[in-house]
Structure 1
Amino acid sequence: MSARISWWLGTLALGALALCAQELPPALPSSTFGGSVDVRVVNVEAVVTDAKGERVRGLSANDLVLEVDGQAVPIEYFSEMDGGRAASPPPAPATAEAAPPPAPSQALVGRSLLVFIDDLFSIGKQRDRMLDALERDLKLLQPEDRMAIVAFFGGRVDVLSGWTGDRAALAAALQAARKRPSRGNKAMAERREKIEDDIFVREALAASDPDGGDNNSFAGARGFDGVLSAPVGQGMPALESRVNKVSQAAIAAMNALTPPTGRRALLIYSGGWPSAGFSVPLALAASRLGYTVYPVDVQGIDTTMVVNDASLNYSVADGYISSPWQRESQYGMELLARITGGKAILNTAGRDALGRVMEDTGSYYWLGFTPKWKGDDRYHTVRVKARRKGLTVRSKRGVFDFSHATQAAMAAQGILLVGGDAQTKRLVIEVEPQSRQAKTFEAAVTVAIPLADLTPVEQGGKWQVEATLSTASMDKTGSFSDLTEVPIHLTLPEKPAPDAVARYHVKMKLRRIQQRLMVTVRDPLGGAAVWGETEIAP
């Protein structure tokens, strides 16, 4: 059960923030935090193929049309990438003040490959076979490529390897991954239980059919027509909860691990999920953070859920060799890949997953445009089309224009689930329990915020400082609370000194259980964020 946080906040009172001096390290540059997003230029990687599925090379920006929200927009930056190098230099900016091209003209562009291992829905032996193949193919990495490996079992995201091109270190991380526990068998047991329930309903409906229809006809059982046509994961709250955790963990990993420059790709190794719709939030976040997603189906062809069983007194017509679960799961993987411009690696293709990703990210067209968006959490469709008939373009399908509050929430979740950089751990959190009840207790929480990490703005002879404070907690079972965001506004008579600290005071109502409280403070102007955490054992 999640450790919920109940805030007693209201408006920020005059004494809720107090200034004081404290010895602190130098201020951090805004680029040190992984969750910051450059909103000036949006990059779109596009793969163009002909009618035979062969890559088409040698196109120029004039051969393609870039549409945003259904309207054609100028392609401000363009490069054809081949083997990690720009085959054609991008055009010069229209004005001297324009931002530099996002793609280098001749320098090698490495890949940043984030490997996410879903231990919640993977069966150990199936997962390990795919990780064996991944370790075998590490030799395909080029000197300019980098890889990071993380795994998720339901609590925090475990970073098995940070960004590195060291094949020996990556191999060691994959060996450690193969020793981890997995919960795929639990998901399989729940699937079997659901199938048995469906069989029971089917037999009951058939036996009570007053029209005398066959065992698959439910014309006479009004009100039950949709029982067996419900989505695979419907009515399985435990599975749905774990699916949401996987999505949150993958988003957190992308936010917390700042990749090197270059082409970003996310490889998700999983046994599949019961709901295809779960992939949409993950895909939207990946697109905004510049990741192309390649889901890898570790189970191969699913033979564990046999449709026709010897114990049945009838046969069930099904024109597929795969189970309904696998069809739903693979559709979700296809959807996740399609939204981000990637490819789903299904069935036995996972044994060559890295090779397929390396090939797919080796040659493409790199387009860039500067949107005039407002940071209002709107989704903007993006389409790249070829002017020449017979050509097909594969690219991301849209970009979510995250607001500062959403970015702060994602950044906080990244720190909560993955952990933050020690350099940015600059918040001091004090918790003083006050009153206790049977299952909850009240606590006075004070957060010391170094103002050197925020951007002061002079207005009307005074200095304004704004920030977003986000909080969440995780209990000893790995369950975490919803994120809570609080806007902070501070007016100062003069520019804050380098060692100035604002103390934020708040009363909180917490469950009486051991938990870890995490707080982040994000600068909406500079994009930097600092964080802190403390253990609470009431």
Structure 2
Amino acid sequence: MKARVILLSGLCSLLAVAGDPADEHTKSATKDESVLHVETRLVEVNVVAQDSKGNAITDLTRDDFNLLDNGKKVPIDVFSAISIGTEPKAPNLPQHTFSNRVGLPTATVILLDGLNTAVEDQTWARSEVISFLEKLEPQDRVAIFLLGDHLYVLQNFTSDPKLLLEVLKTTKPRVPKELAASTPPAPTPGSAQPVDLNTALDQLQAGLPTGPGGTTGASTGTISGAAETSAQAAEEGVMMQFEGHEGSFFVVDRAGRTVDALLAIGNYLAQFPGRKNLIWVSASFPVGTGFDTPRQPGDTRDQIQFTGEVKRAVKALNNADLAIYPVDARGLVAGGVAAGATSIAGRNSTGSGLPDADNFYSTRGIMEELADDTGGRAFYNTNDLAGVIRHAVDDTRANYTLGFYPHIRWDGTYHNLKVKVNRPGVHLRFRKGYYASLVASATEDQVSASLTRAISSPLETTGLGLTVSIEQRVEKPARRLKLNITADAHNLTFQDKQGGKAASLDFIFAQLDTSGKVVSDVRHTVSLAVAEKGMDVVLERGLSVNDLLEVTPGATQLRLVVRDTASGNMGSVTVPLGP
């Protein structure tokens, strides 16, 4: 039996406006009205402000900031300031009201990198993470992820240090076979270099003594022995090239898996409002392959740089407004920063260092680039990992959000962002840009699949903020609920329309039984128009609709999913229906 949803008169009402809810600020769009041409999207920039000693500055106002998009000053349409003292607590919702926005606005993910970090470095770094967690503060909200064969969520967000410590103490470090396989064995002194057979023969002939008239004085036996030696050299060269190709494969694989993990984390955390930090505890990031030694004649090794992959990761992290804090799991390297990378033996200031300085500086460069582009900070060459993780988490204690609506062509180009403050001695960290990318239109099958996932997920989807209240219950002749549904307008994509803005939303009402099985569902699309003068009110109080739901016998809960058709942003709320 399908659930029957009866839309109230006018379908849409704006509760944010005093007086008649169906006033001129908002109305249902009609088919005869003009085609929508221009999109309006809110771009938010999270800013951390500190003094020269690293102390948070918490008293800045909107007027203190200047925001520039590609060098052009833009108005700050949305402004908020969050600090430990002013941070909003989870709201106390009225009776019979349900929301997917009951969490606090800051979150930190600690990513333990078991793919690019040696076991001994993982072991030591985990002990430092444990030291940090043992002193976790009540306002800290931390999740622990692991990068290995796949990306794993060891513990989702919690402020309970016992849960976080338990999962770390029961999870063993991962043996990163891919890391060892990425570096083929170095050639031993005197071994063959990877050259082809003809080159080897030419080199050999050039070294033989010459006879009268300039002819070679080599005997048949000498030539035979030379050919055998050359064949052996060629065989060894082929093996070295094979090992080089094999190592390149694992480097490419590690780079791909690492970037995919960062993309997944960015997409996941994009659902949450407010400041998000990713603390990436790792010893390396593959920046390229095939450039470690000069190419020889006949060398067929691949030469690949992962610049595109890094840009792809930065794009996803910026779209999520997620700041990344890379923490070098190797600690203090032997011989200082110029000595190169080392393992556990190098966690002191003595020693002769290791020869792999290029890898050390390349990794450090990537870490700094990711941190700088996303508004985070890179930490390396220190043994106090617990301390630097604390510094990274403390960035959530005070931060500002500046939002603006770009009047640009959404053509996929990169826009540089710059934030200035008119107060001396203030140091700012913020993401350095955004991509003006359009979201590709999803097919009907893709939309249905995403809605189905949102229905079945054990977690609420939070890309679109929703609040649902049961306004009235009717038991006879059939059981019905009058629902008021309010969507956070900051998460919607509005499009220009004559005299105002417009948005389109997909609604799906899925009723589930006690086992979580869907017993009925219905979906419809609502087009909404908002007068230009009503946008401020809509942004402040949300966009609301009223619906009347007939409860299906056997259903014990309603999973409401709402999707913004323009951006694909979704939100879901679970409403208990009772026995």
What is the Cα deviation at residue 420 of structure 1?
A: 7.5
Q: 2:570 is aligned with what amino acid?
A: A
1:280 counterpart = 2:311: yes
5 Å-filtered alignment, 1:339-418, equals 339-347=373-381, 348-372=383-407, 376-387=411-422, 392-405=427-440
What is the Cα deviation at residue 294 of structure 1?
A: 0.8
> 1:121, 1:328 → 2: CA distance?
14
> 1:340, 1:270 → 2: CA distance?
18
SS in 2 for 1:247: helix
What is the aligned partner in structure 1 of residue 497 from structure 2? none
Cα pair 2:179 2:250 within 8 Å, conserved:
no
> 1:320, 1:189 → 2: CA distance?
19
> 1:115, 1:407 → 2: CA distance?
32
User: Aligned in 2, Cα 1:457/1:74: closer, same or farther, shift over 3 Å?
Assistant: closer
What is the aligned partner in structure 2 of residue 238 from structure 1? 250
SS in 1 for 2:185: helix
User: Aligned in 2, Cα 1:51/1:113: closer, same or farther, shift over 3 Å?
Assistant: closer
CA displacement, residues 218-246 of structure 1 (integer Å, 9 cap, x when unaligned): xxxxxxxxxxxxxx999823211221112
1:332 counterpart = 2:366: yes
What is the aligned partner in structure 1 of residue 179 from structure 2? 187
What is the aligned partner in structure 2 of residue 299 from structure 1? 330
SS in 2 for 1:65: strand
Cα pair 1:302 1:323 within 8 Å, conserved:
no
CA displacement, residues 79-138 of structure 1 (integer Å, 9 cap, x when unaligned): 444436369xxxxxxxxxxxxxxxx9xx99652112222221122221122222222212
SS in 1 for 2:107: strand
Cα pair 2:266 2:320 within 8 Å, conserved:
yes
Cα pair 2:116 2:284 within 8 Å, conserved:
yes
Q: 1:339 is aligned with what amino acid?
A: D
What is the aligned partner in structure 1 of residue 281 from structure 2? 269
What is the Cα deviation at residue 327 of structure 1?
A: 1.0
RMSD between aligned residues? 5.5
Cα pair 2:339 2:353 within 8 Å, conserved:
no
Q: Which segments of 5 or more consecutive residues in structure 2 lack a partner in the other structure?
A: 6-38, 89-100, 204-243, 288-305, 341-351, 462-507, 509-517, 529-548, 552-561, 573-579
Q: 1:263 is aligned with what amino acid?
A: R
Q: 1:47 is aligned with what amino acid?
A: V
SS in 1 for 2:183: helix
5 Å-filtered alignment, 1:39-438, equals 40-48=41-49, 58-83=59-84, 85=86, 110-155=105-150, 157-177=151-171, 179-183=172-176, 186-191=178-183, 193=185, 236-256=248-268, 261-275=273-287, 277=307, 278-301=309-332, 323-347=357-381, 348-372=383-407, 376-387=411-422, 392-405=427-440, 421-422=457-458
SS in 1 for 2:417: strand
CA displacement, residues 502-527 of structure 1 (integer Å, 9 cap, x when unaligned): xxxxxxxxxxxxxxxxxxx9763463
What is the Cα deviation at residue 291 of structure 1?
A: 0.9
> 2:436, 2:329 → 1: CA distance?
33
User: Aligned in 2, Cα 1:54/1:153: closer, same or farther, shift over 3 Å?
Assistant: closer
> 1:524, 1:454 → 2: CA distance?
12
Q: 2:109 is aligned with what amino acid?
A: L
TM-score (norm 2): 0.51
Cα pair 1:79 1:86 within 8 Å, conserved:
no
Q: 1:190 is aligned with what amino acid?
A: S
TM-score (norm 1): 0.54
1:527 counterpart = 2:558: no
SS in 1 for 2:376: coil
Q: Which segments of 5 or more consecutive residues in structure 1 lack a partner in the other structure?
A: 1-21, 27-37, 88-103, 209-231, 308-317, 427-447, 459-496, 500-520, 531-538
User: Aligned in 2, Cα 1:108/1:123: closer, same or farther, shift over 3 Å?
Assistant: same
SS in 1 for 2:116: coil
What is the Cα deviation at residue 70 of structure 1?
A: 1.8
Cα pair 1:254 1:286 within 8 Å, conserved:
yes
User: Aligned in 2, Cα 1:383/1:320: closer, same or farther, shift over 3 Å?
Assistant: farther
SS in 2 for 1:300: coil
> 1:233, 1:324 → 2: CA distance?
20
Cα pair 2:111 2:146 within 8 Å, conserved:
yes
What is the aligned partner in structure 1 of residue 489 from structure 2? none
Aligned residues: 370
User: Aligned in 2, Cα 1:258/1:176: closer, same or farther, shift over 3 Å?
Assistant: farther
What is the Cα deviation at residue 263 of structure 1?
A: 1.8
What is the Cα deviation at residue 170 of structure 1?
A: 1.3
Cα pair 2:3 2:521 within 8 Å, conserved:
no
User: Aligned in 2, Cα 1:188/1:372: closer, same or farther, shift over 3 Å?
Assistant: same
User: Aligned in 2, Cα 1:384/1:233: closer, same or farther, shift over 3 Å?
Assistant: farther
> 2:245, 2:59 → 1: CA distance?
46
> 1:126, 1:413 → 2: CA distance?
41
User: Aligned in 2, Cα 1:164/1:392: closer, same or farther, shift over 3 Å?
Assistant: closer
What is the Cα deviation at residue 172 of structure 1?
A: 1.8
What is the aligned partner in structure 1 of residue 477 from structure 2? none
> 2:371, 2:278 → 1: CA distance?
10
What is the Cα deviation at residue 367 of structure 1?
A: 2.1
> 2:140, 2:40 → 1: CA distance?
25
What is the aligned partner in structure 1 of residue 290 from structure 2? none
What is the aligned partner in structure 1 of residue 525 from structure 2? 455
Q: 2:525 is aligned with what amino acid?
A: T
Bigger radius of gyration among the two: 2
5 Å-filtered alignment, 1:33-44, equals 40-44=41-45
> 1:423, 1:387 → 2: CA distance?
42
> 2:43, 2:70 → 1: CA distance?
14
SS in 2 for 1:191: coil
> 1:244, 1:413 → 2: CA distance?
26
What is the Cα deviation at residue 43 of structure 1?
A: 2.5
User: Aligned in 2, Cα 1:84/1:127: closer, same or farther, shift over 3 Å?
Assistant: farther
Q: 1:421 is aligned with what amino acid?
A: S
Cα pair 2:182 2:249 within 8 Å, conserved:
no
CA displacement, residues 139-197 of structure 1 (integer Å, 9 cap, x when unaligned): 54443432222222224x222112222221111222244x14231x5424533537879
What is the Cα deviation at residue 358 of structure 1?
A: 2.2
Q: 1:171 is aligned with what amino acid?
A: L
Q: Give the share of equivalent positions with the same residue, in percent.
A: 23
